[in-house]
Structure 1
Amino acid sequence: MRATFISTSVELGLRFVGIWPGLPYGTVTWYAYMTGLMVGTYFEYVYIFHHFDISNISNLIDALSIALAGSLGFFKLISLWSRRRIFYDILLAMDQDWSDALARDRSVLSVMSSNANLSRRCSNVLISINTTAAICYTASSFTRHSAGENLNDSVRLLPVKMQFPFEVHASPFFELLATAQLFHMVSIAALVAMINSLIITLILHVSGQIDILRRELLTVCDEHSQSGSIIAGIRLLITRHQRIITFSDNIEELYSEIALMQFLSNTVVMCCIGFTIIGSIAEDGATIVLLKSAIFYIAVTLEAFIFCFVGEYLSAKSKSIGDAVYESLWYNKTAAECRILLFVILRSQKRLTITAGNVVDLSLEGFTSVMKASASYMSVLHAMY
C-alpha cells in the first residue's frame, strides 16, 4: 500500500508501534511497546501517591502533569489501535484518490500535491516541537546536576519523577535508567505528535478533494456545456461528493474518542503546567523550571489548538461546496438541471465536522473554552496555595 499523503515521519511512527498495515509482527510490536509504556506510566503514578503532600504542591503538580500527558498518549494509541480497520479503509480511499488523480488532468494532481507537501511540513514541525519539549524537560535535571545543586549521588533525581521498588541512585544504573526515561519521554511526545499530524494529513486530503469538486462543479455548469453532459457530469460529481462524506465520517469515527480525551486532559494539564510556571517565578533556579515548563505548555496548547482548528477548517470547507454551486451559471440551465443542482446545495448544508465523543463539535470556540477553563482552575489552585 502506498498512501502518498502520509509523510515519512508519520509512517515511521505508525510502523514503530505496529499500526501500519501489512507490517510483519505488527501485533507483537504493538504489545511490546504498550507494555513498556504502561510500566513507565505506572511508576509515575506510584511516585504521585508516595509523595502526595499538599505542602509541596508544586512538585506534586509537576509530576501529575507529566503522568497525565503520558496517560493521554497511552489511551490515544489504544483508541487508534482499536479502530485500525477504519484507518486501513482511510488509507485505501486515499490511495484510490491518488490513482484517480493520475488519470485526470495535471491541475487535479497539482492541488493534491500542494496539500500533500503542506501536510508533510506540518508533520515535521509538530514532531520537532514535541520532541524538543520532551528533550528540554528531561535535560533540565541533568543541567541541575551539572550546576552543582545535587553533588551527592544518594540524592540524585531522575529526569522523570518515578518511584521504583529498588535502589536507583548508584552508577552506572542511574545513568542507564535516566537514558531510558529520556527515550520514554521522547517516544511518547513524538507519537502524540504523530497522531496529531495524522489528523492534519487527513483533513488536508479532504480539503483537497473538496477544492477539486468545487472547481469541477463550476466547469460542468459552464454555459457552453450540453444538457446531457451536464446531467452525466453532475451525477459523477455527486458520487465523488458522497465519497468525501464517507471519508469525513471515517475520520470522525477514528478521532472522536481521541478528541474527547484531548479536551479533558488538556484542560487539566494546561492548568497544572501554568500553576508550575507561576509558582516557580519567585523560586531559586526559576530559569530552568521556566524553560522546561514553557516549552511543554506550548506543546500541550498546540495539541488542543490543532484539533479545534482542523474541525473548524473542515466545516468551512464543506459549506463551500454549496457556495460553488450557487456561484455557477445555474440560471442559464433548464429546470430539470437546476433541481439536480439544488440537491447538491441541500446536501452540502449539513456540515462535515469532527466531534469530541459526539458531545461537542471541534471548533475555535471550543479551544477558547478549554483555555478559559484551564485558566480558571489555575487561578483557584494559585489562590489555595
Structure 2
Amino acid sequence: MRATSISTSVELGLRFVGIWPGLPYGTFTWFTYMTSLVVVMYLEYAYIFDHFDIDNISNLIDALSIALACSLGFLKLISLWSRRRIFYDILLAMDEDWSDALDRDRSVLSVMSSNANLSRRCSNVLISINTTAAVCYAATSFTRHSAGFKENLNDSLRVLPLKMQFPFEVNASPLFELLAVAQFLHVVSIAALVAMINCLIITLVLHVSGQIDILRRELLTISCNEHQSQRDSIITGIRLLITRHQRIITFSDNIEELYSDIALMQFLSNTVVICCIGFTIIGSLAKDGATVVLLKSAIFYVAVTLEAFIFCFVGEYLSAKSKSIGDAVYESLWYNMTTAECRILLFVILRSQKRLTITAGNVMDLSLEGFTTVMKASASYMSVLHAMY
C-alpha cells in the first residue's frame, strides 16, 4: 500500500491542473487549463445574455445552472492555486505523520491505513458520481437531438451538450462533431476536478481524525507507577502527547485556511444551482420530453446536493472528533496521578473544549445544520420562481 492518504485519482487530478508540488511545467499547465475555462465561461455567459428571455425561463435557468457550476469549479481552482503553499505544508505534515507511523508499533499504522483506505474509496466513489452526472447530462443532449433529427431531418435541430454562443455557424459537419467532443471532454474534466477538490477535503479530515484516534488511544493507556524515575518518564510522555495535540491543531488550522473561501463559494453557489435545477425539474413535468429532462437534471441535482453535504459533514465530523480528545483524557487514570501530572492533563481538556472546525469564509461553521439551511433556502427560492413563472 502507498504510504500516503492521498488517493491516486486525486493526485492525478492535481497533476492535471499543475497544482501538485514538483511538477516541471506546473505553472504552464495551470495557466493553459485556466485559459480554456475562461474561454468556455465567456461563451456560456454570452449565450445567457443573448437568450435572456423570461418567456423561455426554463432554457435560461438550465444554461445558468451549468454556467454557475463551471464558474464554481473555476473559482475553487483559483483559491486552491493561491493557497498552494499551505497545501504543500499540509502534504509535508502528512508525510511526516506516515514516516512516524512506520517507525512505531503496528497498531498506529493500522489506524492510519484504515483511514487512508476509506479516503481512497470515498474519492473513487465521488469522482465516479460526478463523472457519471456529467456524462448523462451531455449524452441526453445528443439523445434529444437524435430524436428530433429523425422526425424532421433538419440540421437546425442540432444541439451541443453545453449552451454556448459562438461567433460563427456550428451546425455544419465536421465542426459540430469536433465542438461536441470538446464540450463533452470539458464537462467531464471539470466535473472530475470539482469532485477531486471535494475528495481532497475528505482525505485531509480523515487523516487528521486518524491522528486524533491515535492520540486518544495513547491518552487512555497512560499508566502510573510509584517509582520516581518512571513518573518522570510519564510526564515526558504526556508532554509528547501535548506536542502531538498541537500538531493536530496546526494541521486543522491549515485545512481551515485552505478551504474556508472554497466552502463559502460552495454554499452560495449550491443554493442558487440547486434552486435552478429543482425549478427545471418541476417545470419539465408537464412538457413533452420530460423523461429526457428528468434524466438530465436528476443526476446533476444529486451531484450538486452531494457536494454541499460533503462539506457540511466533514466539518461536523472534525468537530465531533476534536471534542473526543477531552473525553479520552477524562477516561484515563488521572485519579492515580499526582497533582502536577493532573494539572498538565487539565490543559489538554481545556484546549479540547475549543473544537476544531472548518468555516465558510469565517461566517459560519460547516455542520449538518448548515446543510439544512442551504436546502431550505434553495427550496424557498425555487418556490418563488415557480410562483412567478
The answer to whether TM tops 0.5 is: yes
Q: Which residue of 1 aligns with 2:19?
A: 19
TM-score by length of 2: 0.97
Query: Is it true that 1:151 corresponds to 2:153 in the alignment?
Result: yes
Match of 2:169 in 1: 167
Q: 1:97 to 1:224 in 2, by over 3 A?
A: farther
Report how far residue 155 of structure 1 moved: 3.1
Matched, 1:272 2:285: no
Q: Give the unaligned 5+ runs of structure 2.
A: none
Tell me the CA shift for residue 145 of structure 1.
2.1
Please give the alpha-carbon distance, in whole angstroms, between the structure 1 residues aligned to 2:270 and 2:252: 24
- Alpha-carbon distance between aligned partners in 2 of 1:231 and 1:326, rounded to the nearest angstrom: 17
CA distance in 2, matches of 1:126, 1:48: 30
2:326 maps to 1:322: yes
The answer on 1:135 being equivalent to 2:139 is no
Counterpart position of 2:311: 307
For the Cα contact (< 8 Å) 1:222–1:328, is it kept in 2?
A: no
Q: Supply the distance in 1 between the matched residues of 2:121 and 2:166 (Cα, whole angstroms).
A: 40
1:382 equivalent in structure 2:
386
**How far apart in 2 are the matches of 1:141 and 1:6?**
35
**Aligned with 1:358: secondary structure?**
coil
Matched, 1:298 2:302: yes
- 2:355 paired with 1:369: no
- Residue 219 (structure 1) shift: 1.2
- Residue 94 of structure 1 aligns with which residue? 94
Q: Which residue of the partner structure matches residue 108 of structure 2?
A: 108
Once the two structures are superposed, residues 32-86 of structure 1 have per-residue CA deviations (whole angstroms, 9 ceiling, x without a partner) of: 0000011001100000000000000000000000000000000000000000000
Cα deviations by residue, 1:164-198 (Å, 9 ceiling, x for unpaired)? 00110001100110000001110110000000000
Q: Give the Cα–Cα distance (whole angstroms) in 1 for the partners of residues 3 and 36 of structure 2.
A: 30
2:358 is the alignment partner of 1:358: no
- C-alpha separation in 1, matches of 2:252 and 2:75: 22
- Report the counterpart of residue 215 of structure 2 in structure 1: 213
Q: CA deviation at 1:223?
A: 6.4
In structure 2, how many angstroms separate the alpha carbons of the residues matched to 1:363 and 1:56? 37
Partner in structure 2 of residue 181 of structure 1:
183
Question: Alignment identity in percent?
Answer: 87
How far apart, in 2, do the equivalents of 1:162 and 1:30 lie?
24
Letter in 2 for 1:287: T
Letter in 2 for 1:38: V
Q: Distance in 1 between matches of 2:223 and 2:384?
A: 59
Aligned-pair CA distance for 1:134: 0.4
Deviation at 1:151, TM superposition (A): 3.2
* TM-superposed deviation, 1:3: 6.4
Question: 1:331 matched to which residue of 2?
Answer: 335
Matching of residues 33-44 of structure 1 within 5 Å: 33-44=33-44
Query: Quick one: which amino acid aligns to residue 59 of structure 2?
Result: N
Match in the other structure for 2:258: 254
When structure 1 is superposed on structure 2, of 329-338 and 304-313 the one drifting more is 329-338
Q: Structure 1 residue 153: deviation in Å?
A: 1.4
Q: CA deviation at 1:148?
A: 3.2
Q: Counterpart of 1:310 in 2: which secondary structure?
A: helix
Cα distance in 1, alignment partners of residues 327 and 249 from structure 2: 17
What is the CA–CA distance in structure 2 between the aligned matches of 1:131 and 1:59, rounded to whole Å?
Answer: 23
Runs of 5+ unmatched residues, structure 1: none
**What per-residue deviation string (whole Å, max 9, x for no partner) do you get for residues 77-103 of structure 1?**
000000000000000000000000000
Letter in 1 for 2:322: S
Kept in 1: contact 2:134–2:187 (CA 8 A) = yes
For 2:290, the aligned partner's letter is: A
Contact 2:148 2:157 in 1 (8 A): no
Shift of 1:141: 1.0
Amino acid at match of 1:105: D
Structure 2 counterpart of 1:85, which letter? R
Q: CA deviation at 1:377?
A: 0.2
**Residues 30 and 330 (structure 1), Cα distance of their counterparts in 2 relative to 1, 3 Å cut:** same
- 2:198 and 2:307 in contact (8 A); partners too: yes
Q: Does the aligned pair in 2 maintain the 1:145–1:151 contact within 8 Å?
A: no
1:251 positional shift: 0.3
Aligned to 2:289: 285
Letter in 2 for 1:129: I
Residue-pair matches, total: 384
Q: Are residues 1:203 and 2:195 paired? A: no
Equivalent AA in structure 2 for residue 22 of structure 1: G
SS in structure 1 at match of 2:173: coil
Does the alignment pair 1:8 with 2:12? no
Pick closer, same or farther for the CA change 1:156–1:336 going to 2, 3 Å.
same
Q: CA deviation at 1:224?
A: 8.3
- Residue by residue over 1:239-274, the C-alpha shift from the partner in whole angstroms, topping out at 9 and shown as x without a partner, is 000000000000000000000000000000000000
Deviation string, structure 1 residues 290-343 (Cα, Å, up to 9, x no partner)? 001000000000000000000000000000000000011111111111101101
Contact (CA 8 Å) 1:3, 1:94: kept in 2 or not? no
| Native 8 Å contact 2:315 2:366 kept in 1 | yes
